[in-house]
Structure 1
């Protein structure tokens, strides 16, 4: 009698709860060396409620690494309970594994918004691409929307690997999307994969926009979007349709990759390498087609192939979005906030596209620990957990707490629980952003502060409780402190200046040290900066 192969899913347990719809499964197939793929299905996909939220086929095959049986799979979930089935091989010894994942579409008003910028004199609004690639507005909307879903899932997994729970950003919901006023142009909102994409048509011509530098484009697009609805609670990820590589001169026009504040801005020159639908994901991150660098942007970190172009350019979006979420570059080490974004493909693939070459690369798509713990407290990130019962975690209209705030439970982190601790922000996260600014937790006396004391001590005050302190050396994070294990919130911390310098590696005189902190309410203070050797 033949043994039936078995599955192991290493990163998701049956009964897990997530706050985003596209879930990544890391798995391994045991005892089925001949299997080349695993079919992943959402059971009951013929139900009308499920069809209404389906963005892809109910079943999809994902490649398996023949030497290890490892596979990566993605599945779109619907709100509520989802039964996910993994199947490999054929009867009578087919491997079958099922697990339940709950998707809680939690209400949250701090969102990331997708924007596609088109010049006034371009009626088509397409992006530059090889002849065999679709490149009209519809294709751009689908590629951008799916990229944002993939990055939402990627960030959740990177946070999960730190044992912090699957915190990730929220994307704007279709019901929240409102067109931005556009002087001399217009904006329409198109939806793909449940993501509203704001197609913003400028009043400026393509030639005028292509004549601008990257910094000037950032300022021009930022100014155009400054009047967008709900501006105080949105971060925009914007791609410019007019990026062009001139094959005759070798010049690149309309391109940048900049992020900070409320805008992350990118050229669209690499978009042709991005997946347009979920079925394309495995192929896009393994496609060894050579990039024609004479005619098209080759932003592949010197690797010169489509898979690398997709990995680097999509990874750069997550990197620049990280800057919008207050993350600096790490002073030492790698990760997404360094050049680790070049390796985004490793999150979604099971094989190295260039065997022997890339296997030597030491970097990985990961978050450095300071970035992860800082995001743990950021107001734009949320997560769902595994307790209490999923049906009661996020009711449609959360009941008022006794103090008049709105309470949404935050269960203990997974996979390595830490001691429970109060988090004031839980009491305010159901309020609209405008109302939240007037909540007691966000009042001026409760904002965090960092001050210099005459006795050579830096005092950090956080009435709402201290979550994270970052020590920045010449703009990059050199060290950090996190406050997870404290039995009670830390409200006041005195740090000798010599200890601050030690944390930063005792830099030479003239080096700039900045201290930044985040409190439990997601409020950030980072105005304190001194040069080493300065006198009080």
Structure 2
């Protein structure tokens, strides 16, 4: 029986009927649409319904198991809704499960069917392993280790979802990386005192070296790591005594901390896990938390929002950013790999307020260069720019303000850690390719029949900022490209070339 004379239409924006999902946290975005014509009898009564209901039913493809999950979510002022479903709590990660999604709002309903399919053994050739690093002779309460590992597990799965969503939005399908398993404790040979005395670059070098030489992890070249240092220490009393609550001063009094990614390791301090959720149901609440950070007790890395929600957004965005470096992404002016990783909260929340945050750009150089970003890999040197609040308002009103630029999306879509591998064919052909740079003719050459060029970037040597990039298109009616002549403008001092083939091979040329 209808509760009112309303007419609605439920639209799901980011999920198609029959779509295959390989990650366990699923973001569902959509709208409740109202008709543009008058209702019967010129009814103007406002709908009293405020929540959308999702019933998720599952039926295993290989078994007779079935189950149901029900969730409610509020509708924003413009009819938008966002739902987070943790499939990992309701399906076996090793099976295929047909999922039926029944949406209902007021007197209307909508149904979709999707397939959850765990990453198969061929996809697991390239994996990402979460680690919780403890120090030699360090005593860490077992409960704290368990809690932090659970937070890391959950939020890395959320990062996995973020990558899938962003690549789908960019037109490359729901591609993402594969997680190797639950967070594991890795005991370093360094003591806490030694860790506290080192800067983040030295910490990255030492921990990377220990992982490479470890018996558990060192022999697997197809494994990358995202690791959190357990003994990160914050001297809040010293910050309070100084009266200087700037991020720069907070960072000075934060020991054993890092936010640095590249190669096979993305490394972070554990000091900000206080703002991270431990369950999927708490994710959106944590993003929306306005609880103020007590800087005498806890550090703040929120780009000056000074709230738990701001800390969660910035530090999770930093994880997305630094993991991007392990997947060979350079820096960009905008987006996740530039000035936009603070806004990851906007991907999952509704009715966001416009935030005029300091841009993470410290200077501009030569006229044709887009921007020069901070030389510190975490963009920690902040300075307000001349962007107006109105510009920021329009930007955030029309988008989530969190995205990978096109060149980054192209790299991820073709990267070995994101490609859908069919057996070992790609690896068998890998030896046939030889990527070279011809200085005389100023061109890049891929000397392998199966490895056409895909993308070439010119990056600054100091900070890997992308100055120029060239996507090499090919397709049904266009020949594959194996030789690319660089434009004269692309030849820059103190820059290097990053080259990507369609099969995921990469090459860097420091001199060209």
TM range (shorter): 0.7 to 0.9
Query: CA separation of 1:512/1:212 partners in 2, compared to 1, >3 Å: closer, same or farther?
Result: closer
Matched, 1:238 2:227: yes
Shift of 1:47: 11
Partner of 1:71: 81
Aligned pairs for 1:45-444 within 5 A: 58-65=69-76, 67-77=77-87, 78=91, 79-89=96-106, 93=107, 95-107=108-120, 108=123, 109-125=125-141, 136-172=144-180, 195-226=181-212, 227=214, 228=217, 230-250=219-239, 251-330=253-332, 333-352=333-352, 360=393, 362=395, 364-382=401-419, 408=422, 428=425, 436=427, 439=428, 441-443=429-431
CA contact (8 A) 2:28 2:82 kept: yes
Distance 1:220 1:301 in 2: 28
Distance 2:69 2:10 in 1: 20
Aligned pairs for 1:440-451 within 5 A: 441-443=429-431, 445-451=432-438
Shift of 1:290: 0.6
Matched, 1:523 2:512: no
Query: CA separation of 1:268/1:37 partners in 2, compared to 1, >3 Å: closer, same or farther?
Result: farther
Q: What 5-or-longer segments of structure 1 have no aligned partner?
A: 127-134, 173-194, 384-406, 409-425, 430-435, 502-506, 531-536
Partner of 1:10: 13
Distance 1:113 1:278 in 2: 20
Partner of 2:377: none
Calculate the TM-score normalised by the size of structure 2.
0.77
Calculate the TM-score normalised by the size of structure 1.
0.74
Where relative contact order (Cα < 8 A, 6+ residues apart) is larger, the structure is 1
Q: What 5-or-longer segments of structure 2 have no aligned partner?
A: 35-45, 240-252, 358-388
Distance 2:324 2:303 in 1: 20
Please list the CA deviations of residues 110-167 of structure 1 after superposition, one character each: whole Å capped at 9, or x if unmatched: 00110111223333357xxxxxxxx712211111111111111111111111112122
Please list the CA deviations of residues 3-28 of structure 1 after superposition, one character each: whole Å capped at 9, or x if unmatched: 35431101111111122222211111
| Secondary structure, aligned partner of 1:470 | strand
Query: CA separation of 1:144/1:261 partners in 2, compared to 1, >3 Å: closer, same or farther?
Result: same
Distance 1:50 1:351 in 2: 41
CA contact (8 A) 1:27 1:72 kept: yes
Distance 1:196 1:367 in 2: 27
- Aligned mate of 1:513, from 482, 495, 498: 495
Matched, 1:495 2:508: no
Please list the CA deviations of residues 312-354 of structure 1 after superposition, one character each: whole Å capped at 9, or x if unmatched: 1001001001111111102xx3000012110000111112256
Query: CA separation of 1:260/1:125 partners in 2, compared to 1, >3 Å: closer, same or farther?
Result: farther
User: Which range is displaced more, 366-375 or 117-126?
Assistant: 117-126
CA contact (8 A) 1:170 1:382 kept: no
CA contact (8 A) 1:451 1:528 kept: no
Distance 2:315 2:350 in 1: 20
Aligned residues: 430
Shift of 1:526: 1.2
